[in-house]
Structures are given as structure tokens and as C-alpha cells.
Amino acid sequence: MSVDAATVRRIAHLARIAVEEGEVEHLQGELNAMLAFVEQLSEVNVEGVEPMTSVTPMAMKKRHDVVTDGENADGVLKNAPERADNFFLVPKVVE
């Protein structure tokens, strides 16, 4: 894929970047070089390569999925400005 001058102007317009007419040719070359590099990446065989979260092998830290404060409604609602039964009362904001 190749980027022409009109495409450079369109990208600049969409990105809200002021580009002088003399810069268009240079930016066109830069964008074409980037796209050529991305095309090179598509040639790499990545079959069987696991996705990584880090360059060093490590397991993700996970917390136990446990419910807390579920049995302590009075303690949870203690700081509520207004409450009814075991629920927070909030001002109505939508008519």
C-alpha cells in the first residue's frame, strides 16, 4: 500500500494537524516507510507462538474471587448520608 499526497492531507485533516504544503512530500515518505515496515511484519511466521504479557515468563497475579462485606450491611451503610432498609438513598436526578 502506498500513501499519496492527498491521503497525507486527509490524515492531517482528520488528526487536526496543520501541515504546510512543503512538508507533505516528507510526510508521504515517512508514512510509506512505516507501512512498508508493517508489511514486513506480516511475513513473520508466528504460528505456535504464545501471546506474551512480558518479556520475562511469569504468571499473572490474580486475587481470589471472594465476596466481602456482604454479610455486614449495617457496617457498609454506616457512612451513607441517607438509607432505607438495607439500601442507599440517592437524590433523584432523572425526571
d(CA 10, CA 16): 10
Contact residues for 76 (Cβ-Cβ < 8 A; gap 6+): 69
What separation in angstroms does the CA of 92 have from each of 76, 77, 81, 95?
22, 19, 14, 7
What is the reported pTM? 0.50
Q: What is the pLDDT of residue 79?
A: 84
Domains for the chain: give ranges and CATH numbers.
Answer: 5-41 (1.10.20)
pLDDT for residue 69: 62
7-66 residue pLDDT tens: 999 999 999 999 999 999 999 999 999 999 999 988 999 899 888 878 888 777 888 888
Cβ contact 75:69 at 8 Å: yes
